[in-house]
Amino acid sequence: MKKILTIILIFCFAIAKAQTSLPEISLKNLSGKEVSLTSLSEDKTVVVSLWATWCVPCIRELDTIAEVYEEMQEEINFELVAISVDDSRSTRRVKPAVMGKGWEYTVLLDPNNDVRRHLGNPNVPLTLIIKNGEIVYRHSSFTPGAEDELFEKFKEIAG
Amino acid sequence: MKKFLIALVALTTMQITIAQNNRGTFSGGFESNSQWYQDDDGLGTFAPQDQLRSNNYFTLRYSYDKFTAGIQYELFAPNPLLGYFEGFEGNGIGTYYLNFKHKGLDITGGHFYDQFGSGLVYRSWEDRQLGIDNSIRGVRVKYDFTNFLNATAFTGNQRVGFEVSEGTVTGINTELDLSTALDLETGIQIGASYVNRFQSSTSPDLNFPADVGAYSARADLTFNKFFLGAEYVYKEQDAFVLDGFVSNNNYQDGRALLLNTGYATKGLGINATFRAVENMGFYSDREASGNAFLTNTINYVPGYTKQQDYAVSNIYVYAPQPFVSPGEGKAGEIGGQIDVYYTAKKGSTLGGKYGTKFEFNYANWSGLDATFDVANNTYQASLLSRNEKYFEEASIAVKKRFSRNFSTIFTAVHTEYNTTIIEGSGDFLRGDAFIVDALYKLDGGQSIRMDLQHLSADADRGNWAAATAEYAFSPYLSMYVTDLYNYDETDIHYYSLGGSYTKGRTRVAMNYGRQRGGLVCVGGVCRFVPENTGLTLNISTNF
């Protein structure tokens, strides 16, 4: 038990000091074209949301934001990139789901979960705010109302 | 353990120093899933010998310039949670790797995860909920020759608990993007792979297959709104294995065909998948064929059905049947599914003020039509044939918002389930489930969610009812109480209550209750979990 505590302590210390960014890899978009992750937030702030077609709170979050997406784009330059962590079983569902729901987000596919693993294998939904390549805000899970908090944070960070 | 700690401290300190000087970054995570098992007279279950069990994962990743190094330390103390592979007992370094990436070159030494095509020939992945980590420990090289042509080659042994497989897995893969190469409007990607398993012969027969190769060829086409994909896989003859006993003179090959097509336009998306598989078990250790913990699996043959969202629609879930078992009359499966996503526009009759979303899924799976020689454990089958029904399901979900604060989801599911094929014995079951889920948003990030669920089934334990109430105090803190009640046969309540707190990179969840025994399926792959009762604590953090 003592050992575990020590490890936890080390990790807590590490967390305090850590700063991360997205990995330098490329993911395919829904047209099969490669998009480099580092190019996503060049000189700007974007929200990156990790989601999956089988994840109910993820769909709730993205549906909720979709309802006000245009407004928020105009008001605060809000931009969201939805990275699907669906594996090869369900990755084919992503395009019909996104189109069928009428989402306007940039959607990228991470079927091998490279991005997710890079971020420490978090549960989805995971919502990140990225400014000039650095992850500056991180929130997992979604309950209604969390979108308002996200818009607030975005405004604050994007400045 | 002590050495490891010292190394960890040194490593962490070093990394922090470096990170502060902007000469590298590091990230990582910690996840702990613990359960304190209780005796439960109501269920008739007893706590296992080690009542308190805990699965813990520590990951550290450090990248500097073109290099990335990672390590995952795992601690299963004193034993893994119930239903997990016993090979995880104890603690140790689960995975480690060093990666070099420069321009188009990507080299990894150590453990790696990857997949070729849809995974039918090769996929290694980690799923902590299922207790699967079949990463390969070896060397992998990936190279982008141009922006439209790349190739991957690897060789290594597969992770099995804290050991590695006896057999060696080697693979090569190449992918060509013709649309980029020829500057076409239509998207055309083609790919081919070869994966080999080598494991020394244990038989006096000189023809005994030590080397087993599997080939995959595939193509994906995307026209404006349509898309179409196909993959064919052939696996060479491998020794027939029954309950871990390897046959010395019975060798069988396997094959699979996967087709996928769809149409997507704003407001409407359709996707249809067809797959036929015959004898597609592919293992890094032949003796592990068909093992319950899914260790040593080289390829990925998931159940293509919809992953249902509620308790009553998750009791009778299809588990894929790609294996040969003449005694049970199994040679493989054939079937498919279709998904339709449709949004009725705002202001239309169906759409109302906010628009209404519809999701429809139909799945149908059957066994191959085969003749079996049970005495010799052989069979004759055609890949494109259909016999006994294994599973059929039709479901619809309607998502409707009534006001700014109030939204609902209505779900209906009809399931037909061949219990004998999927679970080993039992009557063929037909069930109908209805679920209403309502969400009310209050001020200040507070919300209330409730659902009511019912399943009427004509076999097994008959009818079930369930209900959930969930209250979110804020986007960070929520609590729930739920009960799944089999009121027809057993009169058992599977109740559970708990809460979770999430802040930034950290999530803590705690709950107490009963876990219904049966198949737990994640991503179409299923694991059996025994019934149990207890207190669970989940902690996860990432940095």
Check A113 against B113: CB less than 8 A apart. Answer: yes
Say if residue B225 is in the same domain as residue B260: yes
Say if residue B98 is in the same domain as residue B115: no
Residue B37 exposed, middle or buried by CB count within 10 Å (0-12, 13-18, 19+): buried
Residue B356: closest C-alpha in chain A: A101
**In this predicted structure, what is the pLDDT of residue B295?**
95
d(CA A106, CA A113): 18
Q: Is the pLDDT of residue B24 over 90?
A: no
Question: Which of B389, B428, B410 lies closest to B313 in space, CA to CA?
Answer: B410
Of A11, A96, A123, the CB nearest to B58: A11
Is the C-alpha dihedral spanning B42, B526, B451, B468 positive or negative? positive
Query: Which residues on chain B are in Cβ contact (under 8 Å) with A17?
Result: 16, 19-20
**In this predicted structure, what is the pLDDT of residue A17?**
46
Measured in degrees and rounded to the nearest 5, phi and psi for residue B255 equal -155, 160
Say if residue B518 is in the same domain as residue B472: yes
Residues B63-94 have pLDDT tens digits of: 888 999 999 999 998 899 998 998 999 999 99
Check A95 against B30: CB less than 8 A apart. Answer: no
Q: What band does A143 get if pLDDT is binned at 50, 70 and 90? A: confident
Q: What angle do CA A134, A136, A139 make, to 5 degrees?
A: 125
Residue A142: closest C-alpha in chain B: B475
Give strand pairing partners of A81: A48, A106
Check B542 against A6: CB less than 8 A apart. Answer: no
Residues B508-534 have pLDDT tens digits of: 999 999 999 888 777 677 888 889 999
The ipTM of this complex is 0.80
Average pLDDT taken over every residue of chain B: 91
**Helix or strand holding residue B509 (H, E):** strand B506-515
Chain A nearest-CA distance from B487, in A, is 27
Residues B41-60 have pLDDT tens digits of: 999 999 998 999 999 999 99
**In this predicted structure, what is the pLDDT of residue B135?**
97
Structural domain includes residue B258 = yes
Check B343 against A100: CB less than 8 A apart. Answer: yes
**In this predicted structure, what is the pLDDT of residue A50?**
95
Say yes or no: A32 contacts chain B, CB-CB below 8 A: yes
pTM to 2 decimals? 0.89
Say yes or no: A9 contacts chain B, CB-CB below 8 A: no
Say if residue B286 is in the same domain as residue B161: yes
Of B260, B341, B507, the CB nearest to A92: B260
Measured in degrees and rounded to the nearest 5, phi and psi for residue A151 equal -60, -40
* Contacting residues for A159 by C-beta, under 8 A, at least 6 apart: none
Residue B59: closest C-alpha in chain A: A120
Chain A nearest-CA distance from B109, in A, is 16
Chain A nearest-CA distance from B246, in A, is 31
Say if residue B382 is in the same domain as residue B284: no
Residue A75 exposed, middle or buried by CB count within 10 Å (0-12, 13-18, 19+): exposed
* Domain ranges, residue B419: 311-543
d(CA B97, CA B104): 19
* Contacting residues for B69 by C-beta, under 8 A, at least 6 apart: B61, B62, B63, B96, B97, B98, B99
Say yes or no: A101 contacts chain B, CB-CB below 8 A: yes
Which CATH number, 3.30.565.10, 3.20.20.140, 3.40.228.10, 3.40.30.10, labels domain A44-158?
A: 3.40.30.10
Say if residue B280 is in the same domain as residue B404: no
Check B101 against A89: CB less than 8 A apart. Answer: no
Q: What angle do CA A91, A94, A99 make, to 5 degrees?
A: 160
Residues A22-47 have pLDDT tens digits of: 888 889 998 878 899 988 888 899 99
Q: What band does A18 get if pLDDT is binned at 50, 70 and 90? A: low
Residues B243-265 have pLDDT tens digits of: 889 999 999 999 999 999 999 99
Say if residue B333 is in the same domain as residue B374: yes
Say if residue B78 is in the same domain as residue B148: no
End-to-end CA distance of chain B: 23
Residue B341: closest C-alpha in chain A: A100
Check A145 against B472: CB less than 8 A apart. Answer: yes
d(CA A138, CA A29): 23
Check A32 against B189: CB less than 8 A apart. Answer: yes
Say yes or no: A132 contacts chain B, CB-CB below 8 A: no
Query: Which residues on chain B are in Cβ contact (under 8 Å) with A99?
Result: 264-269, 341
The DSSP-derived string for B82-133 is TTS-GGG-EEEEEEEEEEEEETTEEEEEEEE-EEETTTTSEEE-EETTTTEE
Residue type, B12: T
Of B59, B309, B441, the CB nearest to A56: B309
Say yes or no: A106 contacts chain B, CB-CB below 8 A: no
Check A98 against B264: CB less than 8 A apart. Answer: yes
Structural domain includes residue B306 = no
Say if residue B278 is in the same domain as residue B423: no
Say if residue B413 is in the same domain as residue B529: yes
Domain boundary among B102, B133, B159: B102
Question: Which of B139, B93, B149 lies closest to B114 in space, CA to CA?
Answer: B139
Structural domain includes residue B118 = yes
Of A149 and B160, the one with more pLDDT: B160
Query: Which residues on chain A are in Cβ contact (under 8 Å) with B5?
Result: 3, 6-7
Q: Is the pLDDT of residue B8 over 60?
A: no
Domain boundary among B102, B134, B152: B102
End-to-end CA distance of chain A: 45
**In this predicted structure, what is the pLDDT of residue B6?**
55
Q: What angle do CA B478, B484, B486 make, to 5 degrees?
A: 175
> What are the extents of the domains in chain A?
44-158
CA of A136: how far to CAs of B25, B153, B258, B288, in Å?
14, 37, 42, 46
Residue A17: closest C-alpha in chain B: B16
Quote the number of domains for chain B: 3
Say if residue B280 is in the same domain as residue B184: yes
A 56-95: CB under 8 A from B: 56, 60, 63, 67, 87-90, 92-93, 95
Structural domain includes residue B63 = yes
Chain B nearest-CA distance from A77, in A, is 23
**Helix or strand holding residue A76 (H, E):** helix A56-76
**In this predicted structure, what is the pLDDT of residue A9?**
59
**In this predicted structure, what is the pLDDT of residue B18?**
47
**In this predicted structure, what is the pLDDT of residue A105?**
95
Angle between helices A56-76 and A94-101 (to 10 degrees): 50
Interface test with B, best of A92, A104, A151 (most B CBs within 10 A): A92
Residues A80-121 have pLDDT tens digits of: 999 999 887 678 889 999 999 999 999 999 988 889 888 877
Say if residue B97 is in the same domain as residue B110: no
d(CA B207, CA B248): 9
Residues B107-166 have pLDDT tens digits of: 999 999 999 988 999 999 998 888 999 999 999 999 999 989 999 999 999 999 999 999
**In this predicted structure, what is the pLDDT of residue A55?**
85
Strands (E) in B374-428, as ranges, are 378-381, 389-401, 406-417
Is the C-alpha dihedral spanning B56, B62, B67, B69 positive or negative? negative
Residues B416-435 have pLDDT tens digits of: 999 999 998 999 999 999 99
Check A100 against B342: CB less than 8 A apart. Answer: yes
**In this predicted structure, what is the pLDDT of residue A11?**
57
Q: How far is CA B451 from the centre of its chain?
A: 26
Residues B358-405 have pLDDT tens digits of: 999 999 999 999 999 999 999 999 999 999 999 999 999 999 999 988
Q: What average pLDDT score do residues B444-456 get?
A: 94
Domain boundary among B67, B102, B137: B102
Query: Which residues on chain B are in Cβ contact (under 8 Å) with A13?
Result: 12, 16
